[in-house]
Chain A
Amino acid sequence: MIRALPDTLARMPLTVAVPGLVLVLLLGVSILVSERVVTRMVAMQERHLSDLAETYLDGLAASLLPAVLRNDIWEVFDTLDRAAVSYRGLSPIQAVVVDDAGLVLAASDPVAAPVLEPPPEDLARAIGGRVPVIDAARGRAFLWRSLTVSGTSVGTILAEVDITALIRERREVIVTLVVTNLLLTLALACVGYLLVRRLIAPARVLTRHLVDGISGPFEPVPTADLPLTGTESRRMIDAYNGLVETERSRTHLMQRLAEEERLASLGRLASGMAHEINNPLGGLFTALDTLKRHGDSRPDVRETSIRLLETGLTGIRDAVAATLHTYRPERLGSGLTPADLEDVRLLVSPEIKRRGQRLTWHNGLDRRIALPGAPVRQALLNLVLNASAATPDAGTVGVGIGIGVEAGGLCLIVHDQGPGLPDDAAALLTRSQGAAPIGSDGLGLWMIRRSVDDLGGTITVGRASPGGSRIRLDIPVPKEGIADDRA
C-alpha cells in the first residue's frame, strides 16, 4: 500500500496532493504534539495529586498517630471528620483508619466502613500500590499510608479521593487540543491549497496548452495568463511561447517547402507529361504527313495513319486527364474511388518507363469508400515515386491495394528493390507527430506521415522479400463507408 502511495499521489492534481501531504504532515505533527502535551499534563496532574496526597497523608498521620496508638475510636473519627473539611482542595470522599489487625478503627463515613470490620475492597486494594492509585474511569484516586512507630506498623490510613475535576480538566484539554489542532490544520490546509494553486497556476496553464497541443496546434500562452516578469514560472512560459513560435515558423516554412516541392513535382510531372506528349508528337506529325501525302491514294495508309494519330492523341489525353485529377482535389471530395488510385499508376508510368522499370500493380479497391481521395492519392503517389527512385533501372516496383470490411480499413503496400529505407527516413514515416525535417530532405516522407496522421492511419516499414523496402499504410475507414458503396 505504501509503495502504491506515490503512484496515487502522482495521479492527483498538485493542488490537492501538496495541501493533502501538508495536511497529513500537520495532522501527524499535531497528533504527536497533542500526545506529548497530554502525556505531560497527565504526569503533572499525577505529580500534583501525589504531592497533595502526601501532604494530606502527612497531616492525617501526624494527627492520627497518638489516637491510633491509644485505639481511640472517637479521636480517630473526629480527626478524619475535621480533615474532610480541612482538605477540600483534595476532595476526599472517605478516609479509613485500620488497626494493626487490618480492621477498621474508624472512618469518616462509618456506615460505608463500619468499625471493627474489614475496610472496603476498593480502598484495601490500594495498599502496597504507588500513591496515588488512580481509577480514571471512575474519577477516583486511592491513597494509603502506613502508620509506624519505631519501624512497627500500628495501623494504616486509607483514603478515596474524588479526581473527577482532574479528569474533566484532562478531557477538556484533550478536546481543546484536538479541536484547535483540527481547525488550525484545516485552516493551514486551505491556505496551503490556495498558495499551491497560485504557485502552480503557470504550470497548469502550460500543461493545458501542451495537452491541447496534442489534438491541435500548439498555441502560445496569452498575455493575460502570463505570470509576473522575472519569475521562474514566467521564464518557463516564455520558453514555451518561444518554442511554439519557433515550431509555427518551422511548420510554416515546411508548408512553403512542401508547396515548392509539390510545384517541383508538378514540374517534373509536367516535363514527364511533356515528354509523353512530345514522344508521340513526332510519330503523329509523321502520320499526319503520310496522311497528307498518301491519304487520298492509299486507304490503308490513311487507316493506319488515323489509328496512329488516335492512339497518340489518346495517350496525350489520358496523361492530361490524370494531371488534371491530381491537381484539382476539389473534384475528389466525395470519396476515394478505384479510378483515383489508377490515376497514380498513370501518373507514375512515364517515370517508370523512363527508368526502364516494371510496375506490378494490384488494385483490390472495387468501390468508393468514405476517405478523402486527395491525401490518399498524394501519399501513394509519393511512395511510388520514392520507390521508383530507390529501385535501380530495370528494377521492379510493386503496389498492392486492398480494402477489408473485417480489417476495417484501406491497406496500401508499396515495395521496391532499393537498398532499403535509411533509419532516419523510416523514423520520419513511422514517428507519429514527428517534427518536420530540417531542410527539404525527407520532406515527401514527412508529408506522407502528415497525410496518414490526418487520416488516423499507421505506417509500417519492413523489408521486401527479394530485397528492398516494403512500406504499408493502414488507413481506417468507417464500416458504413465501406459496405456496398461500389463505384
Chain B
Amino acid sequence: MRHPRHRGGDADGVWSRRRLLGVAGAVALAAPRGAPAQDNPLRFGLTPVFLSNDVQLLADLKTYITQATGAPVTLVMRRTYQEITALLVSGRLDAAWICGYPFVAYRDRLSLVAVPVWQGDSLYQSYLIGRAGRVAGAVDTLRGDVHAFSDPDSNSGYLVTRALLAARGTDPETFFRRTFFTYGHRNVIRAVAAGLADSGSVDGYVLEVLGDVEPGLARGVTVVHRSEWLGFPPVACPAAARDSAPVKRLTDALLGMDRHPLGQKVLGSLRLDGFAARPATLYDTIAAKVEQAGLAG
C-alpha cells in the first residue's frame, strides 16, 4: 500500500511516530535551563503513541539510546503533543519525537535530528475512518457524524481533516455533529470501532501497524478516505542545541539503529526500516495544510 516516496522537500510532521513513542508513563520534568550538560542524562521526549502499552519497547529504546550514546537517557512522556512540544521548545528536552504539525509551527525554533523511514521512505498518510462496512471514498457521507480526532496538535489526527474540510468551505464544527479528542491514534480507532464515534481522523501508519499488532481492533474500522503523502513525524531538537554533543550522539545513534541488534529489535517493534537525515522541506506539504486550514499564525 506504500506509495512512492517523496523526495526531500520541506519539513513535515512525524506526528503519529511521535505519538507511538510517547505512550508510557511520564518521567522527568524539572530540568536545568539551557543546553544539557555532558554529564546530565539525555532527555528524550515521546508523545502518545499507539504502542502505549508496550513497556518492553520503551525499555529497549531507552537501553539502545543509552548504549549508543554512552550517556544515561530519561524518557519523558506526556498526555498531549502540546505538553511535549512546550518542553522541547523551551529547551527542557534535548530532543523529542514530535509530529510534523508542531515542527512546522515551531520550525524556526526547532531542528530536525532524524526522520523515520517506513516502507522505504519518510512519508505517511492521514486516514478518515468509519466503522467497518462504511462506504470508502465518500467524505460527504461523514457529514453529521460524531467524529473523533486524535489531538489538536496532530497533523494526521486533526490538521489534515480540518484542511480537507476547509477546502470544501466548511469546518469540523459545522460538518460534524460533534467532535472530540482522544489524545491517541489508537484511541481514535477504539472509539470508532466501539461505535462511540461514527468516524475519526487517524495516522495511516498507526492503523497499518495496528493491523499487524491488534488485527481484531483494526478490523473494526474501515478507511473512508486517504490523504496525500506527508512528511513522517520527525525527531527534533531545539535549534540552539542542534550542534551540541548530546544531540550529535543521539543523531548518530538514531541513524545507526538499523545496524545494531537492539536497534533492529526496536525498529521491528515499530515496523520501521530505520532513521534517515531529511531536509526540513519534507514538511512543506504540512505547512501548506496549516495555511489551507487557516491556522497559520
Contacts and interface: CB of A to CB of B under 8 A. Distances in A.
Contacts of B195: 109-111, 114
Contacts of B183: 74
A193 B191 CA distance: 72
A74 B177 contact: no
B180 A73 contact: yes
B129 interface: no
Interface in A71-130: 72-74, 77-78, 81, 106-107, 109-111, 114-116
B221 to A, nearest CB: 14
Contact of B187 (A78, A106, A110): A78
Given A115-B146, A116-B146, A74 B196 contact: yes
Interface string B216-255: 0000000000000000000000000000000000000000
Contact of A115 (B181, B187, B196): B196
B196 A73 contact: yes
Nearest to B149: A74
Contact of B180 (A72, A111, A114): A72
A472 to B, nearest CB: 109
Interface string B174-207: 0001101111000100110011110000000000
A115 B190 CA distance: 15
Contacts of B177: 116
Provide the main secondary structure of the chain B interface: mixed
A74 B178 contact: no
Nearest to A78: B187
A72 B146 CA distance: 13
A78 B52 CA distance: 14
Given A74-B183, A74-B191, A116 B178 contact: yes
Contact of B178 (A78, A81, A111, A115): A115
Contacts of A74: 148, 180-183, 187, 191, 196
Interface residues of B, number: 15
Select the residue from A77, A78, A106, A114 with max chain B CB neighbours within 10 A. Answer: A77
B171 to A, nearest CB: 19
A11 B96 CA distance: 101
Contacts of A114: 146, 195
Contacts of A116: 146, 177-178
Contacts of A78: 182, 187
Contacts of A110: 194-196
Contacts of B196: 73-74, 77, 106-107, 110, 115
A114 B178 CA distance: 12
Interface in A35-91: 72-74, 77-78, 81
Given A115-B146, A116-B146, A77 B194 contact: yes
A81 to B, nearest CB: 8
Nearest to A106: B196
B145 to A, nearest CB: 10
A275 B178 CA distance: 148
A463 B280 CA distance: 151
B226 to A, nearest CB: 24
B9 to A, nearest CB: 34
A209 B190 CA distance: 93
B162 to A, nearest CB: 18
A109 B197 CA distance: 11
A270 B187 CA distance: 139
Contacts of A111: 194-195
Interface in A113-150: 114-116
A106 B195 CA distance: 10
Interface string B154-185: 00000000000000000000000110111100
A368 to B, nearest CB: 115
Nearest to A70: B180
A115 B147 CA distance: 11
A53 to B, nearest CB: 24
A230 B242 CA distance: 119
Nearest to B131: A111
Contacts of A106: 196
Contacts of B148: 74
A72 B194 CA distance: 16
Contacts of B146: 73, 114-116
A78 B182 CA distance: 9
B41 to A, nearest CB: 32
Contacts of B181: 74
A110 B145 CA distance: 14
A25 to B, nearest CB: 61
A109 B183 CA distance: 20
A109 B178 CA distance: 18
Contacts of B182: 74, 78
A74 B194 CA distance: 11
B37 to A, nearest CB: 38
Nearest to A116: B178
Interface string B47-86: 0000000000000000000000000000000000000000
Contacts of A115: 146, 178, 196-197
Nearest to A77: B196
Nearest to B188: A74
A111 B182 CA distance: 18
A70 to B, nearest CB: 10
Select the residue from A72, A74, A107, A109 with max chain B CB neighbours within 10 A. Answer: A74
Nearest to A80: B196
Contacts of B178: 73, 115-116
A111 B183 CA distance: 22
Interface string A353-370: 000000000000000000
Contacts of A81: 190, 194
A402 B240 CA distance: 156
30 contacts: A72-B180, A73-B178, A73-B180, A73-B196, A73-B197, A74-B148, A74-B180, A74-B182, A74-B187, A74-B191, A74-B196, A77-B191, A77-B194, A77-B196, A78-B182, A81-B190, A81-B194, A106-B196, A107-B196, A109-B195, A110-B195, A110-B196, A111-B194, A111-B195, A114-B195, A115-B178, A115-B196, A115-B197, A116-B177, A116-B178
Interface of A: 72-74, 77-78, 81, 106-107, 109-111, 114-116
Interface of B: 146, 148, 177-178, 180-183, 187, 190-191, 194-197
Q: Closest 4 CB pairs between A and B?
A: A110-B195, A111-B195, A110-B196, A73-B180
Given A78-B187, A107-B196, 15 more contacts: A72-B180, A73-B146, A73-B196, A74-B148, A74-B180, A74-B181, A74-B187, A77-B194, A81-B194, A109-B195, A110-B194, A114-B195, A115-B178, A116-B146, A116-B177
